[in-house]
Structure formats: C-alpha cells, structure tokens
Amino acid sequence: MTRRIVVDTDTGIDDAHTLLYLAGRPDAEIVAITSVFGNCEEEDAVRNIGHVNRLIGLDVPVARGAAEPLAGTANIAGHVHGKDGLGDRGYHRPLPPVTGESAAELLVRLAAEQPGELDLLALGPLTNLAAALRLDPELFTRYRSVVLMGGSGPYAPPGTLLMIDANVHNDPAAARAVFAAPRNELVMVGVNVTGTTILDERAIGALRAAGTPRARFATEILDSYLDFYQNEWGRRIIPLHDPLAAGILLDPGFATASMYGPVNIRSDGFLSRARLMRTHDGLPPAFPYEPAPDTRVITAVDAPRFVADFVEALTQ
C-alpha cells in the first residue's frame, strides 16, 4: 500500500537524504512539501526543496513556512549542514514555484480535502505544525498519522547521555502545542533511536560506488556533516536522523520497541527536550507532569535493516 505523505522540512543534508529515500521507495508518494527554518534559513530550505525536487523529477505543491520560532530567535545549524543547508557545494538553487498560501494553510487545506488519506512527516522545528493547529485545533485527527523526527524518548538509564534534541529545542513552544493536540496517531522518532542508526564507512562507500545521480548527490553533500560528526566518534560516519522517521512511517517494523504515554517539553535551563513521561523501565518520573494524549514513542529500531533499505533506495 502506498503512503501519501506531506513533508515539512528544514531542508538540510539528512532532510535531502530523506526526500531521496522517499523517492526511491515504491510505496511512498510525496504529495506536498513545506519549508521551515532550522538546519538553515527558511529561504535556503525552500531553495533546497526545489533543488532536490528537480533532481528526483518531483512536481508537487511547495509552500513556504516559518522563518523563526513562535518566540525568540532562530537557531540555525550552519555549523552542521553548511550555511546553505546542503554543505555549501555551490549548487544553483533558484527559488521554486510556491503556492500562494502559507505552510500552515497548506497543511490544513490538504487534510480537510483528503481526511484520513495523508500522512504528515515533520523533519524540522514544529513551528508550521503549531501554526496549523491554531487554524484547525483538530488537524491531527484529519491526518492518517503524524510522524516527527524529534524528541528524546523516555528518560534514559542513569549515566546515559543523548544528542541534542534540536528540532524541539529550536521551538519548544511549538513542540508543546503539537504534543498536546488531539490526534489519530502521533509517532515520535527521537534522538534516542536516530543516534543509533549509523551510515558507516561501508554504507557510504556503497553510495559512492553506485554512480547514480541520486547516490552521487547524496554523497556530495556529506562532507560538512561528516566533519561535524567525526568530532563525536572519531570516524567519518553519520546518524540517519530524518530518514529513520520516514522509514518508520513506511515500515513500522523498523521499530522493534515502543512505549505509549504523555510527552512533555522539559528544559534543564540550557536545552529543551520532548520527553515521554516515563523512565527507561516504564515508571512515571519523580515529579508532576502535564497530562497529554498518548504519543507512540520509538525506543528501539532494527538499525542494520533500515540502513540497508536506505542504501538500496538511493542506489537502485
């Protein structure tokens, strides 16, 4: 069965990889794309959408979204994805044709026109989704599912450290609105699992050797991403953050364990995270928390199987 997907993206390197992955999966149809700030400025995000769409031959509605969070200023990850979001390779990236509506308006209109038929895949800060909920508080009940790359899972075992939950940290107020909203199904694919899904040297070598336009582009844009992550592991490897969320949307079997419960946005004074209000062994936390509808929170994945599927989709 083909999943018809609306993608909301702050089009950096792993977002571009996600669009390539979806284009390579026969059971996925991208029906619209919306842009948001995050990995790069919003204008770069929409330019990158246009660039990837031309590469994969995709002609779908594109709507421009938020350039900054609901409160505060944007935190742009140029040190990770390059200033332009695609590793500063110097690509010619003209602005693509866009609809006359905002990202939020497009998300609401499509759900109203095709209730229960579309899945929403959110790959960046959740600002556009929060803005759409202001227009239609029941929005998520009109999507078949909402799958987002963000969050940190349940509280980790003592002594465990996690990667930054960047998409939530970049707009915690928007994330709070999203996790509080009524929904059919909301799936959180957080850094607790994306950080374990590694595109290693062998897999990168397979992409380089493929020679197809999609695989060539996927490896061209990797350098700045590899430069960043080599400081984490001492190896030129990367986690497949956003692609994993797309993979789980298409094949829930990539997730080998999950928990259900309320998600709250918590800050330690420096970083904000979306946390399932459970400890790693399923107990409630030792403090009061806000009630919220249940979110399906992914806690373990079959990383080798997903990485093999990702490479196959980009090299076939």
Catalytic residues: 241
State which amino acid sits at residue 57: G
- For helices 303-315 and 213-220, the axis angle rounded to 10 degrees is 120
**Token pair for residue 206?**
């397979």
Spatial distance between the Cα atoms of 36 and 269, rounded to a whole number of angstroms? 25
State which amino acid sits at residue 188: M
- With vertex at residue 59, the alpha carbon angle to CA 56 and CA 62, rounded to the nearest 5 degrees, is 110
Q: Which of 178, 170, 137 is nearest to 295 (CA)?
A: 178
Spatial distance between the Cα atoms of 35 and 40, rounded to a whole number of angstroms? 10
DSSP per position, 258-293: EEEE-EEEEE-SS-EEEEESS-TTSPPPSS------
Spatial distance between the Cα atoms of 229 and 242, rounded to a whole number of angstroms? 15
CB distance 11 to 76 below 8 Å: no
**Ramachandran category for residue 66: left, alpha or beta (phi over 0 → left; psi -120 to 50 → alpha):** beta
Strand, coil or helix: 20? helix
Q: Which of 281, 273, 262, 264 is nearest to 192 (CA)?
A: 273
- With vertex at residue 21, the alpha carbon angle to CA 87 and CA 182, rounded to the nearest 5 degrees, is 100
